[in-house]
């Protein structure tokens, strides 16, 4: 730990492309020739062809390609193209020409920003041998420039003629790409970035095998061996803890190194330019350059048909129940926002801070999340983004793979044939015209009070909750203007277990529009094969109902073969067990499937065709049997004669 020695692993980059730019005569070409040949010829060409350093030139064994450029006006477009392809830019000035240093801030660095070249910049002072000794130090010159242009990773002076710090120039440039500072450290505040802190906290917790909040000497040694393939000597462990304790007493306890001390050490390494140390640790624990778990660690391996969904396994659910109890510090049966933030403090960020998850579950009056609400959000995330769900399980400490955490449900088509569903999570599409009461239905589902003022829903919205302590129901509100775009896809209904059509029972036009949507959805299901059970919900029963609409809705239900409309009043909290009825319809997917006139005609036509084919087949079979009998008869007659 004291030395964090060992060969650091490289990033996912398989090659680093460095582009050298700067004013004419600042030594760009000589710099490249010097690193390539260990010398510079008397005559130097204006621009070199692309140069590639051997794979083993630097310890990381990541190949380096160096691109020389011309800054002449006629080559300006070519220069811009090369800069945009760079992994890092080596920006040169001449130590004996102060005006070329001024050009960095007046032209080159602003030009990189103008071109949106967002890569590390290495500022290199060439011709060090020609500089006058009376000039101020590099640190004095570059410090204000680096404060203004944070993209500058480091500054270095060199001499191609005297071979001073030539390999170091491209080593720092390669290192800035392979072991970047940006994701780890905030130069302005001189502190670790939040995502880096979260990743290191997770690593600390994993290594704290006895869960006592510290890394003992044995745990420190195990950590060192895992990351750097080399054990720590007792004296080295003592040295590490001494360095930490001198700077912050809370970094070490009588049991070992605390999380505070662990984070301090990494900040210290980064400040001293040893970023490869922290990157090696992060990559050993599966992180990529964005400090997220690598895709191969959180990939969902199984392939699924459009009408299959993904759910959490019982093993994953039990793990989450344990996590819930662990972070419910006050034991009130709910996770307050602060407790939830602490729970996700080992993930890159809380996955539920934005839609569609932010307001998708029921909360307590103080914003707490019950166990049902907690598990409902996990079910929603698993349904919509299985890989994201798996990644966050791992961030929380789940050690299983995707096969143990996630399960693939049976196809809905097969569920209809078997006349039952084995799912634990159902998704219900909620259709209906504007002001029909769709949002009010979702709010009631989440236990929220009825809102007197109308607030239109402009994007799809989700609500998830547990119904009757057995099944998770997810309501997906479809705004009226998104219905047609949704149904334009053949597989639009493949993810739907049941569709609900909400209308304002006091408004005839509201019912007519809901009926049109019902027919459109039923027609889409008949054409695509993704037929879904449908229910009609007559909302706003507290208002005077429109008689014609009631009669017509009952007739439509009868004609299409679905259940009668379900009257509800969100305002009066009279929901008529609508959510249980939605679950019942989803669990029996062969029932409540609407049939349109066109669909009925096609079905009758197919039935007639099948009957005709059957008669033809029977007739053909009789003819074949008759022919065979005749042949037997003819053969016998011939032999007897």
Indicate if 279 and 310 belong to the same structural domain: no
Residue 471 near residue 504, CB atoms below 8 Å: no
Give the residue among 361, 370, 359 at the shortest CA–CA distance from 336. Answer: 370
| Residue 522 in domain | yes
Q: Which whole number is the average pLDDT over 544-554?
A: 88
Give the residue among 197, 508, 237, 364 at the shortest CA–CA distance from 205. Answer: 197
| Residue 603 in domain | no
Residue 54 near residue 86, CB atoms below 8 Å: no
Indicate if 450 and 489 belong to the same structural domain: yes
| Residue 600 in domain | no
622 has pLDDT over 90: no
| pLDDT cut 90: percent of the chain above it | 76
The pLDDT tens digits for 417-460 are 999 999 999 999 999 999 999 999 999 999 999 988 888 888 99
Cα separation, 419 vs 414, whole angstroms:
8
Cα separation, 627 vs 571, whole angstroms:
77
Q: Which of 125, 157, 178 is the last residue of a domain?
A: 178
Q: Which of 390, 408, 426 is the last residue of a domain?
A: 408
CA of 386: how far to CAs of 309, 313, 405, 437, 628, in Å?
9, 12, 10, 31, 62
Query: Which domain CATH number covers 227?
Result: 1.10.238.10
Indicate if 424 and 562 belong to the same structural domain: yes
Which residues, including other chains, have CB under 8 Å from residue 254's CB and lie 6 or more apart?
A: none
Q: Which two tokens stand for residue 94?
A: 């001449």
Provide the 10 A C-beta neighbour count for residue 612. Answer: 10
End-to-end Cα distance, the chain = 109
| Residue 604 in domain | no
Which residues, including other chains, have CB under 8 Å from residue 248's CB and lie 6 or more apart?
A: 260, 261, 264
Which residues, including other chains, have CB under 8 Å from residue 547's CB and lie 6 or more apart?
A: none
Cα separation, 254 vs 263, whole angstroms:
18
- What DSSP letter does each residue of 81-141 carry, written as one string? HHHHT-SEEEEEEETT-HHHHHHIIIIIHHHHHHTT--S-EEEEEE-GGGS-TTSPPHHHH
Q: Which two tokens stand for residue 404?
A: 């143990």
pLDDT value at residue 609: 56
CA of 524: how far to CAs of 515, 517, 576, in Å?
14, 10, 29
Higher-confidence position of 620 and 319? 319
Which residues, including other chains, have CB under 8 Å from residue 478's CB and lie 6 or more apart?
A: 429, 430, 431, 438, 460, 486
Cα separation, 483 vs 462, whole angstroms:
16
| Residue 574 in domain | yes
| Out of 96-105, 132-141, 145-154, 402-411, least confident range | 132-141
Q: Which whole number is the average pLDDT over 242-249?
A: 92
Indicate if 22 and 72 belong to the same structural domain: yes
Rounded mean pLDDT of the chain?
A: 90
CA of 116: how far to CAs of 111, 151, 179, 290, in Å?
9, 12, 21, 19
Q: Which whole number is the average pLDDT over 164-188?
A: 92
Q: Which whole number is the average pLDDT over 54-59?
A: 88
| pLDDT cut 70: percent of the chain above it | 91
pLDDT value at residue 6: 34
CA of 619: how far to CAs of 605, 609, 611, 630, in Å?
21, 15, 12, 16
Upstream peptide bond of 209 is cis (omega within 30 degrees of 0): no
Q: What are φ and ψ of residue 404, in 5° steps?
A: -90, -15
Indicate if 535 and 619 belong to the same structural domain: no
Q: Which whole number is the average pLDDT over 284-305?
A: 91
Residue 296 near residue 286, CB atoms below 8 Å: no
pLDDT value at residue 600: 77
Q: Which residue is listed with tokens 């949507």?
A: 517
pLDDT value at residue 61: 87
78 has pLDDT over 50: yes
| Out of 56-60, 124-128, 310-314, least confident range | 56-60
Q: Helix or strand or coil: residue 627? A: helix
Cα separation, 541 vs 441, whole angstroms:
13
pLDDT value at residue 134: 58
Q: Which whole number is the average pLDDT over 130-142?
A: 77
Higher-confidence position of 619 and 244? 244
| Residue 451 in domain | yes
Cα separation, 508 vs 523, whole angstroms:
23
637 has pLDDT over 50: no
| Out of 47-56, 385-394, 437-446, least confident range | 47-56
Q: Which residue is listed with tokens 């005749």?
A: 630
Indicate if 472 and 591 belong to the same structural domain: yes
Query: Which domain CATH number covers 537?
Result: 3.40.50.300
* H helices present in 529-596, as ranges: 547-560, 578-587
Indicate if 167 and 276 belong to the same structural domain: no
The pLDDT tens digits for 605-621 are 555 556 555 555 545 55
Q: Which residue is listed with tokens 């789940």?
A: 398
* Domain of 200, in residue numbers: 191-292
Residue 291 near residue 217, CB atoms below 8 Å: no
The pLDDT tens digits for 15-39 are 899 999 999 999 999 999 999 888 8
Indicate if 160 and 228 belong to the same structural domain: no
Number of domains in the chain: 5
Residue 66 near residue 51, CB atoms below 8 Å: yes
| Residue 9 in domain | no
User: What b/e string do you get for 589-600 counting C-beta neighbours within 10 Å, with b at 16 or more?
Assistant: beebbbbbeebe
Cα separation, 514 vs 358, whole angstroms:
29
| Residue 586 in domain | yes
Q: Helix or strand or coil: residue 1? A: coil
pTM higher than 0.85, yes or no?
A: no
Cα separation, 16 vs 66, whole angstroms:
9
Residue 113 near residue 153, CB atoms below 8 Å: no
42 has pLDDT over 90: no
Provide the 10 A C-beta neighbour count for residue 410. Answer: 16
Q: Which of 178, 200, 223 is the last residue of a domain?
A: 178
Indicate if 631 and 572 belong to the same structural domain: no
Q: Which stretch of DSSP H or E encloses residue 335?
A: strand 334-335
Indicate if 379 and 261 belong to the same structural domain: no
Which residues, including other chains, have CB under 8 Å from residue 92's CB and lie 6 or more apart?
A: 20, 21, 22, 23, 26, 27, 28, 31, 100, 124, 125, 126
Indicate if 240 and 334 belong to the same structural domain: no
Cα separation, 475 vs 468, whole angstroms:
16
| Out of 42-51, 54-63, 177-186, 515-524, least confident range | 42-51
Indicate if 238 and 317 belong to the same structural domain: no
Cα separation, 91 vs 317, whole angstroms:
54
Q: Which own/partner pairs from 356-360 qualify as long-range (CB within 8 Å, at least 24 positions apart)?
A: 356/380, 356/384, 356/460, 356/461, 356/462, 357/381, 357/462, 360/461, 360/462, 360/463, 360/464
pLDDT value at residue 639: 53
Q: For residue 535, how many C-alpha atoms fall within 13 Å in the half-sphere facing its CB? A: 25
């Amino acid at each position: 730990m004291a030395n964090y020695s060992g060969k650091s692993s490289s990033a996912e980059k398989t090659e680093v492309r460095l582009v050298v730019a700067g004013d004419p005569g600042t030594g760009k070409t000589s710099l490249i020739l010097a690193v390539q040949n260990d010398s510079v010829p008397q005559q130097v060409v204006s621009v070199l062809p692309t140069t590639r350093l051997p794979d083993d030139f630097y310890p990381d064994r990541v190949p380096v390609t160096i691109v020389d450029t011309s800054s002449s006006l006629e080559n300006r477009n070519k220069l811009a193209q090369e800069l945009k392809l760079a992994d890092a830019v080596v920006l040169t000035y001449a130590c004996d020409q102060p005006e070329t240093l001024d050009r960095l801030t007046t032209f080159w660095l602003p030009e990189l920003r103008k071109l949106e070249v967002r890569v590390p910049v290495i500022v290199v002072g060439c011709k060090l041998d020609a500089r006058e000794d009376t000039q101020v130090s590099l640190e004095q010159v570059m410090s204000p420039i680096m404060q203004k242009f944070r993209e500058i990773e480091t500054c270095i002076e060199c001499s191609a003629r005297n071979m001073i710090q030539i390999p170091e120039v491209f080593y720092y440039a390669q290192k800035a790409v392979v072991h970047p500072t940006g994701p780890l450290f905030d130069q302005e505040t001189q502190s670790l970035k939040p995502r880096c802190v979260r990743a290191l906290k997770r690593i600390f917790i994993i290594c704290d095998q006895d869960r006592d909040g510290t890394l003992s000497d044995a745990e420190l040694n195990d950590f060192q061996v895992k990351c750097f393939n080399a054990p720590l000597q007792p004296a080295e462990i003592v040295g590490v803890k001494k360095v930490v304790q001198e700077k912050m007493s809370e970094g070490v306890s009588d049991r070992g190194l605390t999380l505070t001390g662990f984070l301090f050490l990494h900040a210290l390494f980064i400040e001293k330019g040893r970023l490869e140390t922290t990157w090696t640790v992060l990559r050993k624990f599966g992180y990529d350059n964005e400090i997220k778990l690598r895709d191969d660690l959180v990939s969902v391996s199984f392939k699924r048909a459009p009408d299959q969904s993904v759910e959490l396994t019982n093993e994953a659910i039990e793990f989450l129940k344990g996590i819930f109890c662990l972070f419910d510090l006050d034991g009130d049966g709910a996770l307050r926002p602060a407790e939830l933030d602490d729970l996700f403090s080992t993930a890159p960020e809380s996955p539920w801070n934005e839609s569609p998850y932010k307001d998708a579950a029921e909360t307590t009056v103080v914003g707490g999340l019950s166990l049902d609400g907690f598990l409902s959000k996990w079910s929603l995330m698993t349904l919509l983004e299985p890989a994201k769900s798996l990644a966050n399980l791992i961030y929380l400490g789940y050690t299983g793979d995707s096969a143990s955490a996630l399960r693939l449900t049976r196809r809905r088509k097969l569920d209809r044939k078997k006349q039952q569903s084995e799912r634990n999570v159902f998704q219900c599409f909620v259709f209906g015209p504007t002001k029909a009461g769709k949002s009010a239905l979702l709010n009631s589902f989440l236990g929220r009070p009825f809102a007197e003022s109308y607030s239109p829903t402009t994007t799809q919205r989700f609500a998830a909750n547990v119904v009757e302590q057995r099944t998770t129901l997810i309501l997906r509100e479809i705004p009226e203007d998104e219905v047609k775009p949704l149904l334009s896809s053949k597989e639009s209904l493949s993810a739907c277990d049941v569709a609900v059509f909400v209308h304002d029972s006091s408004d005839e036009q509201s019912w007519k529009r809901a009926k049109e949507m019902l027919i459109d959805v039923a027609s889409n299901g008949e054409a695509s094969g993704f037929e879904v059970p449908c229910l009609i919900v007559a909302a706003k029963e507290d208002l005077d109902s429109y008689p014609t609409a009631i009669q017509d809705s009952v007739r439509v239900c009868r004609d299409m073969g679905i259940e009668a409309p379900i009257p509800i009043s969100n305002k009066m909290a009279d929901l008529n067990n609508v959510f249980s009825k939605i679950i019942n319809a989803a669990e029996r997917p062969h029932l409540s499937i609407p049939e349109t006139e066109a669909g009925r005609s096609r079905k009758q036509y197919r039935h007639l065709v099948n009957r005709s084919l059957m008669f033809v087949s029977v007739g053909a079979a009789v003819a074949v049997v008759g022919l065979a009998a005749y042949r037997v008869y003819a053969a016998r007659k011939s032999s007897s004669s």
